[in-house]
Chains A and B, each alone.
Chain A
Amino acid sequence: MRYVLLLSIVFAGPLFADDEVTSTGSPVDMSQPEFNFMGFGDISYISTDNSNADGFAIGQAVAHLSASLGHSLSAFGEFTATAKDSEYSFEVERLIVKYDFSDRYKLSAGRYHTPIGYWNSSFHHGAWLQTTTSRPEMLKFGSKIVPIHFVGVLLEGAIGAKNLGLEYKAGFGNGRHANIARAGDAGDLNGDKAWMLQVNSRPQGIYGLNMGLGFYSDEITLPVGPNVGEKTFSAYAAWNKETPELLIEYLHSSHELVNDSSVSGDVDAWYAQFAYRLPGKKSDWKPYVRYEHTRVDDSDPLLGAEALDYDGGILGARWDFNPHAALKVEYRNEEFDNGGRENNFRLQLSIVLTKM
């Protein structure tokens, strides 16, 4: 039923989407509410060393709604339906109400993708948006390494001189749920709220460059045992132009029991991705390569028992055969924590539904 509801939103959306202005000769009232819709979807064929996982897979169906509710107020919603073994799961991924005071102060409340690093706040649930078929392992949806979502308030904007292109995001809200892969949607389980600060620079003189540093702090209440303190530092550099596209992101987390600081452990994770849009008549092709690495201390009180060590390399190409669709072909070689190594091949068709 929920999936039917999502699909009805998806297909009804274009009926009321309107981003064009018509010249009527009458005064134009920009304070009137304006709605926009986007939908994303993907289907993949996956072939692996593990024959149990071979076959086609429906990815996420994503509906994104945004509304301009006057001069400064806006609202955004992102909803997904994800195929599971015997059903579809429906999720409110992001729901944000935002008030823009100026370029320097934009205050919002809601459910976000936590502003940690680059990928998590730049790419969201539409596979079409990202060059590769999937997110880096450390940032995959359902990751325990990074708190992917956060519920609370966020202040963001520009700071300093324009030519430095400095921006900040400061957030405060519910930390992780007792199921640490989820956000505390119904409230924080302890008195210590999560907070985060990210600063990035997009210097005007180096158009395409984006560099950032971030910090995240939380106290996590688990179903059993003492609370665990979490502090995460992130750094990234991204070159957004496609000739080339370069993304490098590093994350370091420290976890320790709040009542016994001798029980602690660290997480180090990073990835580097390089892509290049081919010139001339092959410009609809973008080959890419990515390497990722995640290492978790066995002594880590939060993640040490989760077997999350990972090394993976991918080699692929994206073919934008239509302005609203892309076909990606990808080979992956991955090594998991138990020493098992997997080769797999993926073919993914992704689409975006929008009037743009």
Chain B
Amino acid sequence: MPRMTSKPFNSKASLFRAALCSLSLLVVSPASAEDEATNEVVQSTSQPVAIVVHKDTQVDDLSLEDLRSIFLADQQFWPDRQRIILLVRAPESDERDFVLNRIYQMSEAQFRQYWIAKMFRAEVPRGPKIVFSTDMTLDLVVAIPGSISFIRADQISDAVKVVRIDGALPSEAGYPLK
């Protein structure tokens, strides 16, 4: 690191101009439409969101905090040491907006940055699997042992297991993902 003697800051006209330009940038910059979209958080869906897992997964009930740990990939294994495979809907679905808001408590931009940082810290070798529809979600939860995902409660199939959250199913009082 170079060492230098002190000089008055205002003696450096270019420095001042650069700072002024940046301040004006801060004042006039509009929020882009793209960022408005990515930072918008939808508050709720009309239906509760059900948490579904592969039929063989030996879990029936999770606390909301445990569910958050799984969705954050802080917990990566089920109790039987089966690897957890997280399936997340692609952007611009109500279910995804709901989960980002209620479980992750993040905007789209924060969610993206979270997973990039998680992978970059070598904590996970890959991000969540992206799925594009409820049918695709159900097909893959059925097909992939250890998988977990979320769908609207009125689209639950018998082919997957619905997990109680804080002791309640989506149709019951006290279910936290309504």
Does A298 interact with chain B (Cβ within 8 Å)?
A: no
From 26 to 70 in chain A, residues with beta carbon under 8 angstroms from any chain B beta carbon are: 27-28, 30, 34, 36, 38, 45, 47-54, 64, 66-68
Interface 1/0 per residue, A204-215 and B, CB below 8 Å: 110100000000
Q: Say yes or no: B122 contacts A96, CB within 8 Å.
A: yes
| 12 A/B residue pairs, CB under 8 Å, sorted by A | A28-B143, A48-B12, A66-B122, A102-B77, A207-B65, A207-B68, A281-B36, A282-B31, A307-B3, A319-B25, A336-B1, A338-B3
The residues of B with any CB-CB pair to A shorter than 8 Å are: 1-7, 9, 11-12, 14-15, 18-19, 22, 25-26, 29-32, 34-36, 38-39, 65-66, 68-69, 74-77, 81, 83, 85, 87, 105, 107-110, 112-113, 115-117, 119-122, 125-131, 135-136, 139-140, 143-146
Q: Say yes or no: B66 contacts A329, CB within 8 Å.
A: no
Report the bound CA distance from A30 to B145 in whole Å. 9
Q: Say yes or no: B83 contacts A284, CB within 8 Å.
A: no
Residues of A within 8 A of B105 (CB): 207, 241
Does A322 interact with chain B (Cβ within 8 Å)?
A: yes
Report the bound CA distance from A49 to B7 in whole Å. 6
| Distance (whole angstroms) from the CB of A40 to the closest CB of chain B | 8
Residues of B within 8 A of A344 (CB): 15
Report the bound CA distance from A356 to B144 in whole Å. 22
Q: Could you tell me how many residues of chain A have their Cβ less than 8 Å away from some Cβ of chain B?
A: 81
Residues of A within 8 A of B19 (CB): 331, 345
Report the bound CA distance from A78 to B68 in whole Å. 29
Q: Say yes or no: A48 contacts B15, CB within 8 Å.
A: yes
Q: Say yes or no: A341 contacts B15, CB within 8 Å.
A: no
Does A85 interact with chain B (Cβ within 8 Å)?
A: no
From 304 to 319 in chain A, residues with beta carbon under 8 angstroms from any chain B beta carbon are: 307, 317, 319
Q: Say yes or no: B31 contacts A53, CB within 8 Å.
A: no
Residues of A within 8 A of B35 (CB): 283-284, 320-323
Which of A52, A71, A163, A323 lies in contact with B38, CB distance below 8 A? A323
Does A276 interact with chain B (Cβ within 8 Å)?
A: no
Q: Say yes or no: A30 contacts B125, CB within 8 Å.
A: no
Residues of A within 8 A of B2 (CB): 50, 52-53
| Distance (whole angstroms) from the CB of A131 to the closest CB of chain B | 11
Known: A21-B140, A283-B107, A340-B4. A124 touches B121 (CB 8 A): yes
Q: Say yes or no: B7 contacts A76, CB within 8 Å.
A: no
Q: Say yes or no: A98 contacts B12, CB within 8 Å.
A: no
Does A162 interact with chain B (Cβ within 8 Å)?
A: yes
Report the bound CA distance from A283 to B5 in whole Å. 39
| Distance (whole angstroms) from the CB of A118 to the closest CB of chain B | 11
Does A94 interact with chain B (Cβ within 8 Å)?
A: yes
Report the bound CA distance from A341 to B8 in whole Å. 10
Does A122 interact with chain B (Cβ within 8 Å)?
A: yes
| Distance (whole angstroms) from the CB of A144 to the closest CB of chain B | 11
| Distance (whole angstroms) from the CB of B74 to the closest CB of chain A | 7
